[in-house]
């Protein structure tokens, strides 16, 4: 089983959006028995809360499920439990490394490094632009799935 973890600051906007979109892509490619998806935040501000209304609304608009999602904080154990750890921005990547400490995890990736954008996914909690975030996350999720399909063997 390949395990993918999306990480942002609070785990209510970007990372649950990515979790939902990536789950849908995995389902559509009939890879659910091979790939498991989750999300977390580097802060403890929203633990146990549902995704932000803007995220829920945008996911519903595109018929992407957010069922069962609740914010949680990234833990040291996630370094061992997940194969791909995807941070939404450079600050998240730094926080992931701080939380993991001396972990030598090989696949901590800044999300949009997988695309031609080479920048951070803007946080719609602050920008209010959930459409821009959705578009970037969708592109990143497709690029990540393409990478996983290249790197991993499914049989």
For residue 3, give the DSSP letter: E
Residue 141 annotated as catalytic: no
Q: Does 8 qualify as catalytic in the annotation?
A: yes
- Let me know: does 133 contact 17? Beta carbons within 8 Å: yes
Cα separation, 112 vs 94, in Å, equals 15
Query: Does the annotation count 123 as an active-site position?
Result: yes
Three-state secondary structure call for residue 7: strand
Q: Which of 8, 72, 120, 141 is catalytic?
A: 8
Could you give the 3-state DSSP secondary structure of residue 45?
coil
Catalytic one of 72, 78, 123, 141 = 123
Catalytic residue among 13, 14, 23, 38: 14
Locus of tokens 């849908």: 24
The single residue listed with the structure tokens 């892509």 is 25
Active site residues: 8, 14, 123
């Amino acid at each position: 089983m390949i395990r993918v973890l999306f990480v942002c600051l609070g785990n209510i906007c970007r990372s649950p959006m990515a979790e939902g979109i990536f789950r849908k892509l995995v389902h559509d490619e009939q890879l659910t028995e091979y790939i498991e998806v989750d999300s977390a935040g580097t802060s403890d501000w929203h633990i146990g809360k549902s995704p932000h209304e803007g995220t829920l609304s945008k996911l519903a608009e595109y018929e992407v499920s957010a069922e069962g999602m609740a914010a949680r904080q990234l833990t040291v154990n996630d370094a061992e439990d997940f194969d791909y750890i995807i941070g939404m921005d450079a600050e998240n990547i730094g926080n992931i490394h701080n939380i993991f400490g001396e972990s030598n995890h090989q696949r901590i990736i800044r999300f949009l490094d997988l695309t031609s954008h080479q920048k951070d996914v803007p946080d719609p909690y602050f920008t209010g632009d959930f459409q821009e975030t959705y578009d970037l996350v969708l592109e990143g999720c497709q690029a990540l799935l393409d990478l996983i399909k290249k790197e991993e063997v499914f049989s």
